[in-house]
Amino acid sequence: MDHIKSNLSQRILLFTILLISVLSNPVSAQEMNEMWGKQSNKTRLASKESESVKLFRDGNYGLFLHWGLYSHLEGKWNGKTYYGIGEWIMHPSMAGIPVDDYMASAANFNPVNFDAEKIVKLACDAGMKYIILTAKHHEGFAMFHSEADSFNIVDATPFDRDPLLELSRECQRQGIGLGFYYSQSQDWTAPGAIKGPKTDKNGNEVSFDDYFYRKCLPQVTELCTKYGPISLIWFDTPGNISMDQVLELYNTVKKYQPDALISGRIGHNMGDYRTLGDMEIPSANAEGLWEACDVINDTWGYNWFDKNWKTPKEVVTNLLSTVARGGTYLLNVGPAGDGSMPREAVYSLEKAGEWIKRYPQVVYGSGASPWGKALPWGDAVVADSSLYLLVFDMPVDNTLYLHGLKNRVESMNLLNGDMATPVTWENNGDWLKVNVPAAAQGDDYVNVIKVELDGNEAKADTALFLSPNSPVKYGVEFATASDSHPGYHNWKEKFGEWKHAHFINKWGENGKSTWEVEVMEPGYYQVELEYSGEKRVVWRVTLDNDADSSFIQNQQGALPAYMFKPIGWIYLPAGRQSLSVSLVEGNRDITALRSIRLSPVK
């Protein structure tokens, strides 16, 4: 009886706590964990659909601006160039600039060519729906007029203008969303912050709390109260900030900007949406509200040497690949120290924007591909109850093969802006052969084929398939690993420039990686493997379900970086095949297989 009573009083107490927390608005840690854990955040947010949610979920494309005091250093200090991400130049892993010297360099930062009107217009022309500016990055310099801390662009430089204010006015005038980036934990010039000085200017020891309540929280409050409506707040690198402080930040933002979405990098798995790793576009569809953040070259903050720009076609295909996986694409450009946007970045964004204006239906509000991953020649999205095939690489015979579409096709048209050229197709069991008219004028970057379906939601068998007329690459994330170890890792080649890969290593005696693949046309296929390792390795590729147990086996060199190496030709019969790769000789621990590429031999 006592037990029942105490259970009841616990429940009443819990209900009262919940009621109080709901009525008094601030979100509790428990509620926050529920947002990320039990339910998908898509479901939660859909119930209180806001303008910011629509902007993020349907807009699908935003401009990230990493612009700060580091921009005028351009990756160079005392005449020496540091080849890493520009905004980290001050850090000991790069130039190791002393705090006082870095702060003093603000006297030379005068970005007179900053033009908010032009930047916002560029974002609009590029087809982007919001802009996120680095209000304060890890080095602590504020790109807005802060009363909380004088190390800011108005008080510490000759510039005497508040770029965030100019940007916010322009975003409102030109009708796109504004967000800001704020490094909440790391601050390399603020005493007490993570990686900041341990003492203040009088030599007194300071704690993270001092930094948090003296600089971080007041600045976030300024940002939420002085710049009009804010759509998104992009916190970053939470480190070991406490749960209570994350909640304080979260609730402060929501108090002044209830509509703003908060990035998942606020800490402790909180926030309103998930941000993937830097420069990472996932290979498989993902649920919920999430974003891929990428760079237009190899750095976030401007570097004088970085001319490795993404072409307009790469911008378009990366955007479409993200949307086709169910996400939103945030693309960064680092304005130069004088405030201007690099010419080449402008070129790529504008050209990509022209393409998007011809095919807005495949970018805005469109949904993920029913195949769950990229297709051999491109990708697919669904919109307005139609399926759109996005052809990144048109095969030379203008024929596309699709496997496993569950719907009946009513019509197909190759689009070119407002023009539509009918496309014919043939059904062959589970396969669809799409004949794109050779004379039809498609598009330079990506051809779009609109497929009208039978009225039902687009559905497809998600099995891997081989195109009889174009090479196909499948990562090990689509394979089954046995007696071997599947993993995922990130690494940097240049400082701060992240690469990502799924891999399989630690090969046991019977270790293998097996792909189930649908083959339409029997024939020879050239097999290449992408792997890393050392010295020489011997691979075997087996056709498991073949009566003769056909296989190919070959030795190739191995290097620490992932590379494709040809293994040989294998004959594949039609139907579902099981292809296994195993390591016969070589370092079993470190040899890491990343993908298989199969090209029809013609």
Contacting residues toward ligand FHN, per CB under 6 A: 66, 85, 87-88, 236-237, 278, 293, 300
Shortest reach from residue 322's CB to ligand FHN, in Å: 15
Of 492 and 576, CB closest to ligand FHN? 492
Residue at 506: amino acid letter: K
Supply the angle between the helices 343-358 and 116-125 in degrees, to the nearest 10. Answer: 40
Give the gyration radius of the chain's Cα atoms. 27
Shortest reach from residue 596's CB to ligand FHN, in Å: 31
Shortest reach from residue 61's CB to ligand FHN, in Å: 16
Which DSSP letter does residue 263 get?
B
Yes or no: say if 379 and 320 are a contact pair by the CB < 8 Å rule: yes
Nearest of 478, 513, 491, 499 to residue 591 by alpha carbon: 513
Shortest reach from residue 156's CB to ligand FHN, in Å: 21
Shortest reach from residue 236's CB to ligand FHN, in Å: 5
Of 181 and 515, CB closest to ligand FHN? 181
Shortest reach from residue 246's CB to ligand FHN, in Å: 17
Of 67 and 151, CB closest to ligand FHN? 67
Shortest reach from residue 491's CB to ligand FHN, in Å: 14
Shortest reach from residue 136's CB to ligand FHN, in Å: 11
426 burial type by CB count under 10 A (0-12 exposed, 13-18 middle, 19+ buried): exposed
Residue at 430: amino acid letter: D
75-93: b or e for each residue (b if 16 or more CB lie within 10 Å)?
Answer: bebeeeebebbbbbbbbee
Q: Is 221 helix (H, G, I), strand (E, B) or coil?
A: helix
Residues 6+ apart with CB under 8 A from 302: 66, 67, 70, 71, 74, 75, 86, 334, 335, 336, 337, 342
Residues 6+ apart with CB under 8 A from 342: 302, 309, 333, 334, 335, 336
Angstrom distance (rounded) from CA 142 to CA 139: 9
Of 68 and 339, CB closest to ligand FHN? 68
Of 162 and 278, CB closest to ligand FHN? 278
Of 61 and 300, CB closest to ligand FHN? 300
* DSSP annotation string for 179-212: EEEEESSB-TTSTTSBTS-SB-TTS-B--HHHHI
Of 74 and 278, CB closest to ligand FHN? 278
Of 63 and 381, CB closest to ligand FHN? 63
Yes or no: say if 531 and 479 are a contact pair by the CB < 8 Å rule: no
Strand 563-572 and strand 523-532: the pairing is: antiparallel
Of 90 and 206, CB closest to ligand FHN? 90
Shortest reach from residue 328's CB to ligand FHN, in Å: 14
Of 155 and 280, CB closest to ligand FHN? 280
Shortest reach from residue 183's CB to ligand FHN, in Å: 8
571 burial type by CB count under 10 A (0-12 exposed, 13-18 middle, 19+ buried): middle
Residue at 215: amino acid letter: K
332 forms beta bridges with 64, 295
